């Protein structure tokens, strides 16, 4: 190049073929990166060099300093999908996502910035589109003017919105998980001590009825907390190989009672349906929530269809906020013929506390619970809807290989000999004092010797006595310092055969992996009742007595 290049005007570029007139322009924020486009120019009939504007491969507009479009090339018209743009004001075409367009135009036209890039929303009713527009000064035969280089940024802005939505869901999920953990500790103490009080009263006592009310309402609160955990994906699932034909057949009677006489429920299973690995109880909750939502969307009656089929993906399925990898899946669709959901509200349906039902008729946790359970189970969920025609929720779960299915079907569960009471010594490790107090009293009532510890360090110190026999360890998962699985692994180095019961208000994926690596361990979710605690303890101790571990 003969002299320093001037962006936005004609420059002479030295090439092997000689001097070549070219038009230079930049694309992108110069503070981050700069893309330089070198575009060929030609000798115009009037004797001056002009840009071959119409044939530029880059969508480009020529503007005056007030933002009126003087010229638009073919690529720009195609990108914006209009036949003509000349005479249109840029304010009529775009709307800014940040500062006013007037300030942006003024900054460049007054020379305070060589180029400036903004993301703008295209004003159109047919679709939502975004453009990255780089504005700069240019010099041509008419004197000073502005040029605008347009790049389609719809996919970029869509991904950005999806990321923000994902971050929001994750943040709410973390909050919900933490709140649920604390509530489950409180509910465990409430229900536990309520059970202890019930032991001291006969059914005919006036206090017995009051205590029963407390217990029942605590259980209702526990159900609500369970929904929060499902959304936050912090509940501990107990997955098993499930055959959906049987699962749905067992559930159909209950579903028919849920929907009522004015609705028809059709269940259509595909041929040779593969098995999936899910927590059966949670899967049933997913189906019930979707069916109830379908019923509520069809005031006066309608048809609800549950359809299953095998799905083999040869290429990744990309839609909404998810990418479904290549592989074999089982698809479960729940369809209704209801009022439908407007397109702009489709992605809101999975947000917690969002509900389209009247005040007092919905918690807004139904679909967020479904979303959480499906995602924690390794599945995917999508929603399609047409206003006035109905809505379809589609669930995809990874299929289980035939080898795993066969192994599971052939396996037989070892018999357990349960007894009303089993003698032994239990090491109880729980950092929440009210929960520890209830659990200790409950186990002592069963005739067990209980050693209490408020932290992992205390528990390990107790175990330093090599002559002390410990028949069972009951430990919380989430504690200050060492968590449950970590300190149990240390203890197992000296006491490899001691059975363990993990208890927790919630648990993440790492805990599930850690627990699977610890043999002869089981999980008891909070909140638990006196009966649930003692039954789980009896089961673990009786496995030892029967020599099954």
CB 492 within 8 A of CB 462: no
The answer on pLDDT for 459 being more than 90 is yes
Q: With the C-alpha atoms ordered 189, 190, 191, 193, is the resulting torsion angle positive or negative?
A: positive
Q: How many CB atoms sit inside 10 A of residue 246's CB?
A: 12
Three-state SS annotation for 12-69: EEEECCEEEEEEEEEECCCCCCCEEEEEEEEECCCCCEEECCCCCCCEEEEECCCCEE
- pLDDT at residue number 235: 57
What's the topology of domain 240-410?
Answer: Heat Shock Protein 90 (3.30.565)
The answer on pLDDT for 338 being more than 50 is yes
pLDDT digits (tens, 9 = 90+) for 194-204: 888 888 888 87
Label residue 414 by pLDDT band (50, 70, 90). Answer: very low
- pLDDT at residue number 60: 85
Residue ranges with strand state E in 375-482: 380-386, 390-398, 425-429, 449-453, 472-476
d(CA 530, CA 446) in angstroms, rounded, equals 10
List, in sequence order, every residue forming a beta bridge with 313; answer none if it has no partner.
327
List, in sequence order, every residue forming a beta bridge with 135; answer none if it has no partner.
116, 148
Mean pLDDT for all residues in the chain: 78
What does the block give as tokens for 12?
């002479």
The answer on pLDDT for 266 being more than 90 is yes
DSSP of 273-291, one letter per residue?
PPPEEE-HHHHHHHHHHHH
Residue 180 Cα to chain centre, angstroms: 17
Tell which wins on pLDDT, 387 or 235. Answer: 387
Which is it for strands 390-398 and 327-335: parallel, antiparallel or unpaired? antiparallel
CB 496 within 8 A of CB 532: no
Three-state SS annotation for 123-167: CCCCCCEEEEEEEEEEEECCEEEEEEEEEECHHHHHHHHHHHHHH
What percent of the chain is modeled with pLDDT above 90? Answer: 20
pLDDT digits (tens, 9 = 90+) for 462-503: 999 988 999 999 999 888 888 888 999 999 988 888 999 999
Tell which wins on pLDDT, 52 or 188. Answer: 188
What does the block give as tokens for 439?
């659990």
pLDDT digits (tens, 9 = 90+) for 267-291: 999 999 999 998 887 888 889 889 9
- pLDDT at residue number 410: 39
The answer on pLDDT for 309 being more than 90 is yes
What does the block give as tokens for 106?
């003024």
pLDDT digits (tens, 9 = 90+) for 104-117: 888 888 778 777 88
Per-domain boundaries in the chain: 10-152, 240-410, 425-545
d(CA 62, CA 136) in angstroms, rounded, equals 10
Q: Which residue is it, tokens 């320093």?
A: 4
The answer on pLDDT for 4 being more than 60 is no
What's the topology of domain 425-545?
Answer: Rossmann fold (3.40.50)
List, in sequence order, every residue forming a beta bridge with 13; answer none if it has no partner.
20
Domain over 10-152 is classified CATH 3.30.450.20? yes
- pLDDT at residue number 45: 39
Cis check for the bond before 527: say yes or no (omega within 30 of 0): yes
The answer on pLDDT for 307 being more than 90 is yes
The answer on pLDDT for 68 being more than 90 is no
- pLDDT at residue number 138: 77
């Amino acid at each position: 190049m003969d002299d320093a290049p001037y962006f936005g005007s004609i420059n002479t570029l030295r090439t092997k073929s000689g001097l070549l007139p070219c038009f230079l322009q930049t694309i992108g924020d110069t503070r981050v990166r700069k893309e330089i486009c070198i575009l060929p120019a030609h000798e115009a009939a009037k004797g001056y060099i002009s840009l071959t504007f119409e044939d530029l491969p880059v969508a480009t507009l020529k503007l005056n300093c007030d933002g009126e479009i003087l010229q638009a090339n073919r690529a720009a018209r195609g990108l914006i999908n209009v036949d003509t743009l000349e005479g249109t004001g840029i304010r009529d075409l775009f709307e800014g996502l940040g500062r006013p367009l007037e300030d942006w135009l003024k900054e460049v036209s007054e020379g305070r910035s060589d180029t400036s890039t903004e993301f703008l929303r295209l004003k159109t009713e047919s679709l939502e589109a975004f453009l990255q527009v780089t504005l700069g000064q240019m010099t041509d035969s008419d004197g000073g003017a502005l040029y605008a280089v347009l790049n389609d940024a719809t996919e970029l802005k869509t991904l950005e919105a999806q990321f923000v939505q994902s971050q929001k869901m994750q943040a709410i999920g973390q909050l919900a998980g933490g709140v649920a953990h604390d509530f489950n500790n409180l509910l465990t103490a409430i229900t536990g001590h309520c059970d202890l009080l019930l032991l001291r009263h006969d059914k005919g006592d006036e206090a017995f009825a009051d205590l029963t009310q407390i217990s029942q309402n605590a259980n209702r609160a526990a159900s609500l907390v369970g929904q929060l955990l499902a959304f936050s994906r912090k509940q501990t699932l107990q997955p098993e190989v499930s055959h959906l034909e049987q699962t749905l057949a067992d559930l159909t009677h209950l579903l028919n009672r849920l929907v009522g006489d004015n609705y028809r429920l059709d269940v259509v299973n595909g041929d040779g349906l593969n098995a999936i690995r899910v927590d059966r109880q949670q899967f049933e909750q997913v189906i019930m929530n979707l069916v109830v939502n379908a019923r509520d969307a069809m005031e006066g009656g309608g048809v609800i269809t549950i359809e299953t089929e095998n799905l083999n993906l040869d290429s990744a399925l990309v839609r909404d906020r998810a990418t479904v990898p290549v592989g074999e899946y089982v698809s479960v669709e729940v369809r209704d013929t209801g009022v439908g959901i407007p397109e702009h509200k489709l992605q809101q349906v999975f947000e917690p506390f969002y509900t389209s039902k009247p005040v007092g008729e919905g918690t807004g946790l139904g679909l967020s619970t479904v979303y959480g359970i499906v995602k924690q189970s390794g599945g995917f969920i999508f929603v399609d809807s047409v206003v006035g025609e109905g809505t379809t929720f589609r669930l995809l779960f990874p299929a289980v290989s035939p080898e795993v299915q066969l192994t599971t079907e052939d396996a037989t569960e070892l018999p357990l000999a349960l007894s009303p009471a089993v003698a032994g010594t239990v090491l109880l490790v729980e950092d929440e004092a009210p929960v520890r107090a209830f659990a200790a009293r409950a186990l002592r009532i069963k005739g067990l010797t209980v050693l209490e510890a408020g932290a992992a360090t205390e528990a390990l110190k107790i175990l330093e006595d090599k002559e002390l026999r410990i028949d069972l360890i009951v430990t919380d998962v989430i504690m200050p310092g060492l968590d449950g699985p970590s300190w149990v692994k240390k203890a197992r180095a000296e006491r490899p055969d001691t059975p363990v019961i993990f208890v927790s208000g919630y648990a993440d994926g790492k805990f599930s992996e850690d627990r699977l690596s610890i043999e002869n361990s089981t999980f008891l979710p909070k909140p638990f009742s006196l009966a649930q605690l003692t039954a789980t303890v009896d089961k673990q101790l009786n496995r030892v007595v029967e020599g099954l571990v």
